[in-house]
A and B are shown apart, each in its own frame.
Chain A
Amino acid sequence: MSTDSAAPDVDTEGGATVEEQLEELREELAEVKAEVAPDQKKMTIISTKGTLDMAYPPLILASTAAAFGWDVTVFHTFWGLDILHKEKTKGLKLSAVGNPSLPMPNLLAAIPGMDAMATRMMKSKIKKNQTATIQELIDVCLESGVELQACQMTQDLMDYDEDDFIEGVTTGVGAATAIDHMAEADIQLLV
């Protein structure tokens, strides 16, 4: 870009015009990007489930990938939104029905209170084993730079407001944003 005649006559230190300085910064930015980008792996997870058991895998993988120095995005949609919801995240439940790993037949599992019981059992095991809680994992993710996103369409569908989400969560994004991240990612997972 030629700068000597057409550029506005705004002199700064050293005689460089604003335009020259801008060009210089652009070049520097491109260099920095080229230096950082090729090596950094990327992972995108689509998190769709809001039960206690299904809330874990995306957050565990995301926090671990962040510890690997990766660029990580978790896109939350449908019941996955509950993981990021200030109130709902505290009450994520285990479903007793249709869970063949629980030692009770479906007929009994359908009795009111069984989900709550299964959830209590799971939570007490989590505590006993010193497994990280969902809240701890969300904190670790946000601290380590994981991008936690809430899908706009399902946010509207569920009547959630952007203020309902934990601070640090990116709201108001859609499928195009998710696709854009997935296209660049080395690992894409749907949970």
Chain B
Amino acid sequence: MGTDYAITETLDVKGESCPMPVVKAKKAFDGLVEGDVLEVLATDPGAFPDFEAWANRIEAVEILDQIERQNGETVYVNVVRKGADE
């Protein structure tokens, strides 16, 4: 997992729980074009496995990075790239 990507859009779903992080990420994804990179900030500890599962099921979703940040609270950052439409 490299860091050589430029973030197109950031989605903040901190505080929200399942299923909203994935549901809102999908909504944001729909507004992006191929090659765009979406960064999703979540506090839901399920966000990493859930985003992996989401990416696993959709060809156009590619996980570039998963970063855990400590900012007083733990923030799980999923960085996903939009690929070619299925």
Contacts and interface: CB of A to CB of B under 8 A. Distances in A.
Contacts of A137: 19
Interface string A13-37: 0000000000000000000000000
Nearest to B43: A130
Given A60-B18, A132-B17, A144 B23 contact: yes
A129 B25 contact: no
B7 interface: no
Contact of A64 (B15, B19, B86): B19
A132 B19 contact: yes
B23 A67 contact: yes
Contacts of B58: 68-69
A64 B16 CA distance: 14
Contacts of A130: 15-17
A69 to B, nearest CB: 6
Interface in B20-41: 20, 22-23, 25-27
B48 interface: no
Interface residues of A, number: 15
Given A68-B58, A69-B58, A69-B86, A63 B15 contact: no
Interface string A61-76: 0011011110000000
Given A39-B86, A69-B58, A64 B17 contact: no
Contacts of A67: 19, 22-23, 25-27, 54
Interface of A: 39, 60, 63-64, 66-69, 129-132, 137, 140, 144
Q: Which 8 A-B pairs have the closest CB atoms?
A: A67-B26, A64-B19, A130-B15, A60-B19, A67-B23, A68-B57, A67-B22, A131-B17
30 contacts: A60-B18, A60-B19, A63-B19, A63-B23, A64-B18, A64-B19, A64-B22, A66-B23, A66-B26, A67-B19, A67-B22, A67-B23, A67-B26, A67-B27, A67-B54, A68-B26, A68-B54, A68-B58, A69-B26, A69-B86, A129-B17, A130-B17, A132-B16, A132-B17, A132-B19, A132-B20, A137-B19, A140-B23, A144-B23, A144-B27
